[in-house]
Amino acid sequence: MNRWRIHPGVRTGTALSVGERAADYVRNGMGSWPFVFAFLTTMGVWAVYNGSDGFDPYPFILLNLFLSMIAGLQGAILLISAKRADSVSSEVAVHTLSNTATLQEMIEANTALTEAVAELASEIHQRVCPSRLPYDAVPRRATQLPTETTARRG
């Protein structure tokens, strides 16, 4: 079963045209193992039943006619299914693009808030502890001491 049906960016149900629903149905039916096994079983039963004295004896002229008609339609069916799969992929891509833009805006807003909080924390630190280093100048490691802060401490 395809999971794209539950994707929020893909149209389903009544939002689809009759042709799109038919393409989904045919693609999901013909592109499955149960269809392959049913087809092979049907061909085997046809051959066994009509092997010697059935309504379509060997060389199975009627079966060849049916299979030729199916092969003639198969190209169009594959193209229709591929076109529907392409439209589903396009809908998912558009949904992903809109989500990416929204997430980018949220990240930028979060970055601005984080910078504002860091600035406020630095101001609070300077007011609470005026004799110490500024909050943003507190080294994370001893090797990262700025030269002017080393002069203040010494």
pLDDT tens, residue by residue, 120-138: 998 898 888 877 665 555 5
Q: What is the pLDDT of residue 121?
A: 92
Phi, psi at 45, each rounded to 5°: -65, -45
* 81-110 mean pLDDT: 83
Q: What is the pLDDT of residue 80?
A: 79
Q: What is the pLDDT of residue 94?
A: 77
More confident residue, 9 or 107: 107
Q: What is the pLDDT of residue 1?
A: 45
* CA distance readout (Å), 100 to 43, 109, 148: 50, 14, 43
Mean pLDDT, all residues of the chain: 76
More confident residue, 8 or 127: 127
* 88-114 mean pLDDT: 86
What's the pLDDT tens digit per position in 41-54? Answer: 988 888 888 877 77
- DSSP output for 84-137: HHHHHHHHHHHHHHHHHHHHHHHHHHHHHHHHHHHHHHHHHHHHH-TTS--GGG
Does the predicted TM-score (pTM) go above 0.85?
no
